Amino acid sequence: MNKIVVEPGSMRADEKFHITVKSEGPYLVFGRPPLVQQFIIQNAEGESWAFQAGRSFAMADEPTALCRCGASHRKPYCDGSHRNADWDPQLTDPGDPILAGAEMNEGPQAVLSDNPHYCVFARFCDAGDRAWNLVQESDDPEKAELLIREANHCPGARLSAWDAAGEIPEEPKFEPSLGLIEDPKIDASGGLWVRGGIPIQREDGFTYEIRNRTVLCRCGQSSNKPYCDGTHASAHFDDGLGGRPEGKKW
């Protein structure tokens, strides 16, 4: 057990919600949060610009076991394939607060925190202008607005935008929910997007920092498990779920 830490700007979800990461198996999800595909949508310039919902998946079991090895034949659910799959289940993330390893990029009217260990290669930080450039021009209201948009669309919270004093984060409001990230532009399926302060814990009872948004590995190949590190992109991980973006866009 450990003292539970909540990231600044985040709120812990209702107690019925939590995820237990099995040391050699799946994610056990409690509380039946909604599980929906989230497609990365490009703008006219071909840059990552929005998420759009696709298919929904039932969370009928309590808990519901979701695949984290990448080998299940009934994704997104676990079917026991992790027992024979060629993967390393070791949980390698040290469990430190995300800001402990973050660089604080200071601009005239905003601060951008950046912890590259949680980059999931969603590429929202490059739309229009790079977030690191935008923070230096944050005295321009349009630049500041775009900075906040880019940071808030970073699903793994590698990037967060803050006020000029670096004290108040500009966090989006999320209800407890799960997203299956799909990235058609790079022909890959991404990680499990955990939103709304759902606690994530190991089998030994250790609870990771509670975050408003974070992404867990679904391909089984991240070097920062349980978190996604973008390896799905180079591996061209395909969850085989099909579907298309046709729901709510954010």
Do residues 149 and 141 lie in contact, with contact meaning Cβ atoms separated by under 8 Å?
no
Q: Residue 205 is part of which domain span?
A: 18-94+173-235
| Residue 22 shares a structural domain with residue 89 | yes
pTM over 0.85: yes
- Phi, psi for 227 (deg, rounded to 5): -85, 155
| Residue 90 shares a structural domain with residue 107 | no
pLDDT band at 3 (very low <50, low <70, confident <90, very high): confident
Residues 14-28: pLDDT tens digits?
999 999 999 999 999
Residues 147-165: pLDDT tens digits?
999 999 999 999 999 999 9
| Residue 134 shares a structural domain with residue 22 | no
The count of structural domains within the chain is 2
| Residue 85 shares a structural domain with residue 22 | yes
| Residue 186 shares a structural domain with residue 145 | no
| Residue 60 shares a structural domain with residue 149 | no
| Residue 109 shares a structural domain with residue 220 | no
Q: What is the mean pLDDT of the chain?
A: 97
Do residues 185 and 40 lie in contact, with contact meaning Cβ atoms separated by under 8 Å?
yes
For residue 94, is the peptide bond before it cis, meaning its omega torsion is within 30 degrees of 0?
no
Which of 162, 188, 212 is the endpoint of a domain?
162
pLDDT band at 13 (very low <50, low <70, confident <90, very high): very high
| Residue 31 shares a structural domain with residue 151 | no
The reply to whether 185 falls in a domain is: yes
- The percentage of residues in the chain with a pLDDT greater than 90, rounded to a whole number, is 98
The reply to whether 2 falls in a domain is: no
